[in-house]
Structure 1
Amino acid sequence: AVGRSTAQEVQRLALEMAALAEHLNPDSAGKPAAAASDDAAATDNAAASDDAVGRPADAGARRSPGASPRRRPVRVGRGLREGTTAATRALLETPGLVMWVDGYNVTMALWGDLALPAQREALVRSLSGVATACGTHIRVVFDGDTGGAPAVTAPLRVRVTFTEAGVEADDDIIDEVAATDPSIPVAVMSADRRVRDGVSACGANLLSPNDLRDLLSGARPSGAGS
C-alpha cells in the first residue's frame, strides 16, 4: 500500500510539472508526463515485488513439495570403531531399533554343518539372548520351505517368518525395510551383497554374520548358543 501511494504521488507531481513545462515550452508537451508514467510503473512493479518477498507461499516454493523424509543410518557413540563388538552392541541398544536378519544367509555362515531345522533353532536361540540383553526388536526371515518348515518358537522380541514359495528372503527384507517408517532406526544382518545394497539405499545400518559371531563370543548373552 505504501508503494502504491508513493507511485500515485509521483504521478501527480509529474503531471503538474508537465503542465508547467508545457506552459513555459510548448515543444516539450507530453515528454515529462511520459517519463513520469514510466517511473510510476517501475515504482509499482518494485512495490509489488517487495510485497511478494517473504510470503509463506514463496517460502514453500523453495522446498520440495511432496518430498518424503529419508532414513539415515544410526551413528554409534563417539570413540567406538565400526565393526567392533562394542559398536555392534551400542547399535543394537538404540531405542526403537528393529533388526532384520537374513535367516539362512546367517545360519549357513555360522552353523552350516547342521541340518536346516537345527540351524534355525541355533539362530533363534542366539538372537533371543541378544534381544534380551540389548532390547532389540528382531525380525528373522527364512526362505519359504516347500516341504513345510516346522514352526519356530521365539520370544516376542524375535519374530520369525517364512517367505511364500518362490519368494526369496532377500526381496522380502528389502521390501520390508523400504516400507518401514523412516523415523524408525533399522539394521539388517546379511552377507548377501544384493541385500546389503538394497537396504543401504534405504538408510539401514549394515551388520554381517561375523558381527553376530563376535557378539556371541565376546559377551555371550544368557541362553545363546552356537
Structure 2
Amino acid sequence: MEIVVKTNLKELQKKMQIVQKKVFMKSMSEGINKTAEMVAKANNDKLKQKLNKPMKTSVTAVAVTHYAKPNKYRLSAQIMVKDYASKFLYYIYTGEDEYARREKYPSPTRDGKHLAGVTGNIQKLKSNTKTGGQGTGLLAKIDKTEKNDRAKSRFMGKPKGKGSGVYGIWQRTGRKGRGGLKLLVAFTPFIKHKKLIDFFKLSTKVVKNNLYKEINKQAIKRIQRAMK
C-alpha cells in the first residue's frame, strides 16, 4: 500500500498558518511517516489477533519500506508485506482457494488438528518437543505396512473395504486397533481459505483517522521549538 498526499500543498500550508516552507515540509513528511508506522502496527496487531499461535516473523511481516522526505516530490510513504511472508499472507488477505501445484495438499482434519505443530503444520515434532525425540506430531508413528493390531497405530493410504475412500493418514482406534479409523490428514486438490483481514480497508481507516492529526502535531512541535 502506498500513502500519497494529494492535498493542495499551498492551500494546506495557508490553512495551517505555517509561513516557513521548511517547517511545513518537515511537518508533512514526519506526519506521513508517523501515520505509516501506525498503519504497519495496526496490520501487525490484526495479524496477531487473527492468526492461531503465530510466529514472531508472521506478526512483524507488515513494515514501512519507504519513508517520506521533506520535499514536495517525495511526500509519500509505502507500507508493504515483507517478501518472506507475502506467499502465505496472500490467502489471509484475499480468502482465495490455494490449489495444489503438483500433488494434493495434506490438510489436518478435525481429529488431527491437536497433533499439528504450533503453526498448524504437519510434522513429526510438535512445539516444545525436543529435536531428536520420538515426536508426537501428525507424521510420527506411521507404519510402513498396512496391517497392524496396535491401537492408535497409523498408516498412509486408502482404507480397504467399506467406508471412506479418501487418501490420507489414518489412525486405528479401539482395542488392538479394531474400533474403527480416524482420518487425521486428508490429501485434497486445494486448501479453502477464509479472508481474515481487509488490508486496504484497515489501512485506509488508520490513515483517515491519523494523517492530518499527526501532521498538525508535528507542526505544533516545530513551531514551539522555534519560539523558544
After TM superposition, the score normalised by the length of structure 2 is 0.18
Q: Hey, which of these two has a bigger chunk of strand by percent?
A: 2
Task: Work out which structure has the larger RCO, using CA pairs closer than 8 Å and 6 or more positions apart in sequence.
Answer: 2
Q: Hey, which of these two has a bigger chunk of helix by percent?
A: 1
Structure ID, larger Rg: 1
After TM superposition, the score normalised by the length of structure 1 is 0.18
